[in-house]
Amino acid sequence: MGRAGWPAAAGVVIAMLWPPSADADDAKRVEEIVQGKCFICHGMDGESSSPAFPRLAGQNAGYVARQLADYKSGRRRSSTMQPMVEDLGPADFAALGAFFASRPTHAHPVEDPGLAEVGRGVFLRGNPDSGVAACATCHGPNAHGSDALPRLAGQHPQYTETQLRQFNRRSRTNDNDVMHAIASRLTEPEMRAVAAYLSGLK
């Protein structure tokens, strides 16, 4: 399909994907936003194919809405995302959060099962020797997070690694206080291992 045909196809897919109980006006607005802004990078149902962009399928609604608000305010900086949200408001953020939270998640193969097994240990138990807390303490044993914390299960490993490095350097400009303290104690191999483990969870 050529690029010119994308908007019409996007509208059809959104209509099929949006929860039947959703408000019709919200569904219409989300259709406009997703086909105009989101789907090229994140996919129609939040299942982005590029590791440069996070998978949003199944992501917690409140977390999505807060990140979008932080992009708009500049609290979280991104030259890609800030222009995308500058004309959106809180109702849009909430509707997008609800939409992506409702998308089905998918199982993804782990590229290095041995590395992922090491990551499983760090995620569930941390590293007492270096003071790394168990990731599961906040993100849950299945890495599904909460309305305030991100779902990490099934995320692109490269994206997870990038975020951990940004927290370590404090170049991630929101959610830094707790995460910097953790990421600064993780070694590069531990970051890769945890990211590999999380990528295989559903």
Instruction: Give the model confidence (pLDDT) of 107-121 as tens digits.
Output: 999 999 999 999 999
pLDDT for 10 beyond 60: no
In angstroms, the CA 47 to CA 103 distance is 9
In angstroms, the CA 195 to CA 158 distance is 7
Token reading at 35: 């086909």
The separation between the first and the last C-alpha atoms of the chain, rounded to the nearest angstrom, is 30
pLDDT for position 202 = 96
Secondary structure, 3-state, the chain:
CCHHHHHHHHHHHHHHHCCCCCCHHHHHHHHHHHHHHHHHHHCCCCCCCCCCCCCCCCCCHHHHHHHHHHHHHCCCCCCCHHHHHCCCCHHHHHHHHHHHHCCCCCCCCCCCHHHHHHHHHHHHHCECCCCECCCHHHHCCCCCCCCCCCCCCCCCHHHHHHHHHHHHHCCCCCCHHHHHHHHCCCCHHHHHHHHHHHHCCC
Q: Where in the chain is the domain with CATH 1.10.760.10?
A: 3-101, 113-199
In angstroms, the CA 155 to CA 60 distance is 13
pTM above 0.85, yes or no: yes
Q: Which residue has the higher pLDDT, 111 or 5?
A: 111
Q: Give the CATH number of domain 113-199.
A: 1.10.760.10
pLDDT for position 2 = 44
Q: Which fold has domain 3-101?
A: Cytochrome Bc1 Complex; Chain D, domain 2 (1.10.760)
pLDDT for 13 beyond 70: no
Average pLDDT, the chain: 91
Exposure letters 104-116 (e unless 16+ CB within 10 A, then b) = ebeebebebeebb
pLDDT band at 18 (very low <50, low <70, confident <90, very high): low
Tens-digit pLDDT profile for residues 145-191: 999 999 999 999 999 999 999 999 999 999 998 999 999 999 999 99
pLDDT for position 23 = 72
Contact 57, 163 (CB under 8 A): no
CA distances from 101 to 164, 174, 185 (A): 23, 21, 31
